[in-house]
Amino acid sequence: MSAVERSVVAAGIDVGTSGVKAVVFRVDPAGNGALLAKVAERLRRRDPKVVVDHTLETALAAAEVDPSGVDYLASTGEGHLVEHRSGHFYGMTTHARGASWLCPGARGALDMGALHARAIRMDDRAKVLGYAMTSQCASGSGQFIENIARYLGVTLGELGDLSQRSTAPEKVSGICAVLAETDVINMVSRGVKTADILKGIHLSMADRLVKLLRSAKIDGAVALTGGLAADVGLVGALEQQLAGDKRLPVKLVSHPDAIYAGAIGAALWGAVRYRMLERRRAAAVTTGEVTT
């Protein structure tokens, strides 16, 4: 059986600013993907290269796939850290494809990562039609919220629940992370409750995210992707802001595996590229352009 006719094993690895995500898929000839394994590892000041290797090895072991059995290894994010990768895909491309697989019918993706956030408009085949992205110094990133949590002495797992308990939120500066952190320091000195500080931060971040969605001109279902998709406080603030904005006809949809969207998209596009390359090789053999 030719490579075009059989199922393809594709691995995708997303190397982010604060963590590494890896998935393994088996994709049939019709393009339907079955997720065999998924693994996420935080960097935690470790050598990124070591974390990348360990994450991929763990995912392959969980999928019971030998490294030699991987037809295509696709990277996204900081792909240069992935040795022996077959190819690399840009983050917007992979998050769009991953969002489409996780949330069928989505016409947009809101990637809320550690370094920045981006709103992606796409068609029914996950082709990127447009996007809007925050700058790296913006206070709408996962790294910013991690810094604030560390300063306030709360864990990332506590953020969402604390934020939802707020009764008098105070917003912070929505442009610069440095100014926003200064606002937080001043709030603590004034005795503002931690819950109110966190809800204020979430509302400020939500303001920026709504502006991104509007700039990207997304209409319809928007899948949340990235690590912050699991922050129930931020998602709640975002839904609150959208409820009051009648100019933006979008509906947020989420999935428990939202953090893997980039890796999922990389693997699925990798399978597509692998089959395309195999068809080209087969055609070349048929026409006598190459010898086997």
Whether residue 292 is predicted with pLDDT greater than 50 in this model: the reply is: no
Dist CA 202 CA 223 (whole Å): 18
CB hemisphere CA count around 105 (13 angstroms): 7
Task: Using the predicted structure, report yes or no on whether residue 252 has a pLDDT greater than 60.
Answer: yes
Helix, strand, coil percentages in the chain from 3-state DSSP, rounded to 5: 45, 20, 35
User: For residues 216, 217, 222 and 224, what is the CA-based torsion angle, rounded to 10 degrees?
Assistant: 20
Residues paired with residue 38 on neighbouring β-strands, in sequence order: 23
Residues 16, 55 contacting (CB under 8 angstroms): no
Task: Using the CB atoms, write b or e for 181-219: b if 16+ within 10 Å.
Answer: bebbeebeeeebbbbbbbbbbbbbbbebbbbbbeebebe
pLDDT above 50 (res 40): yes
The residue-averaged pLDDT of 196-201 equals 92
- The count of other CB atoms within 10 Å of the CB of residue 84 is 8
Provide the pLDDT for residue 171. 83
Mean residue pLDDT of the chain comes to 90
pLDDT at 180: 79
Tens of pLDDT, residues 10-21? 999 999 888 999
Q: How confident is the model at residue 137 (pLDDT cuts 50, 70, 90)?
A: low
Closest-CA residue to 135 (of 122, 118, 147, 121): 118
Mean pLDDT, residues 163-180 taken together = 81
User: What domains can you pick out in the chain, each with its CATH number?
Assistant: 8-98+259-286 (3.30.420.40), 104-254 (3.30.420.40)
The predicted model gives 129-151 an average pLDDT of 79
**Residues of the chain with pLDDT > 90: what percent?**
65
Average pLDDT score over residue span 178-203: 89
SS3 161: helix
pTM for the full predicted model:
0.91
The residue-averaged pLDDT of 18-40 equals: 95
